[in-house]
Every structure is written in structure tokens, then in C-alpha cells.
Amino acid sequence: MNTTAIINIAKGQLGLEEDDYRALLQRVTGLSSIRAMSERQRIDVVEEMKRLGFRVQSGGKKLPPSVKPYIRLIHALWKNCHRLGVIENGSREALRAFCKRFVAHGINGVVVDPDLLSYEQATPIIEALKKMEARGKAVAK
């Protein structure tokens, strides 16, 4: 889900009136429109809304497989590395943390979903996973 949608859901969950909502946006980012904000600014708004009591709720739905081959490759390599014992924790949360090291290293409060990566962001992750997989195969022999 994109940050714009999350902000709109949070606005409703917090019961913010339009004036209060615009004041919050202005206070956090200096802008009163989420369309004019960068992704980082929208993430800052989401973090502020979480501080005010917004809770992200999971719909409990299984995500469909990505149509992008490089995203499917990341998931396949991750599962294979876990199967080979190279990766101890094969969970989706662990994959997100792994991807964050490549995309948003040192930035707190950012969640990096591998399904939303661009090809440029995914390439170094794929290369690292390929090297990890090769090490796991060498040990398994």
C-alpha cells in the first residue's frame, strides 16, 4: 500500500477534521498537500500519525505474487538461501530488514517492502542474494 493511502486511512482513523489535518501536514513537512510531498515527507507524516495513535491494521490477506520477474527472483533467492541454511530467519519481515540495508540504510522508521522496489533498487539485493546462495551451495556439497 502506498503512503498516500495510509495517510488517508490514518486521517479517518484519527478523526481529523480538514483544518486539523492540513495543520498537521504543515507542521510536519511545511506543505499542506500530500501530493506536493516527497515519499520521505509522507513517511514522516505517517510516523507522526502513528505517534498520535494511528495503528496500521493488516487485512490478513495473502499478497498475490508480483508480476515483475525481478521481484519474484528476490523472493525465490531468499527462500532458497533459507533452505540452504545461509539465512536463519526466512520470514517476510527478515527479507524486509535485509532489503532496508540496501535501500534505506540508517534511516529509522522506514519499512522497505521488496514487492515495491524498482529495478535499480532490486539489482544490488539480487546480486547479494546470488552470492549468498552460491556460498550455501558450496557448503552443501
Structure confidence by residue, pLDDT tens digits, 53-80: 888 776 656 656 677 899 999 999 999 9
Residue 111 cell numbers, joined: 519499512
Residue-wise pLDDT for 10-28, tens only, equals: 898 888 899 999 999 999 9
> Domain residues of the chain, as ranges?
3-51, 69-140
Straight-line distance from the first to the last Cα atom of the chain, in angstroms, rounded to the nearest whole number: 41
Best-predicted range by mean pLDDT (53-57, 111-115, 116-120): 116-120
Mean pLDDT of the region 109-115: 78
Torsion angle defined by CA atoms of residues 32, 33, 37 and 39, in that order, rounded to the nearest 10 degrees: 120
With a cut of 80, say whether residue 107 has pLDDT above it.
no
pTM for this one? Answer: 0.54
What is the average pLDDT value for the chain, to the nearest integer?
Answer: 86
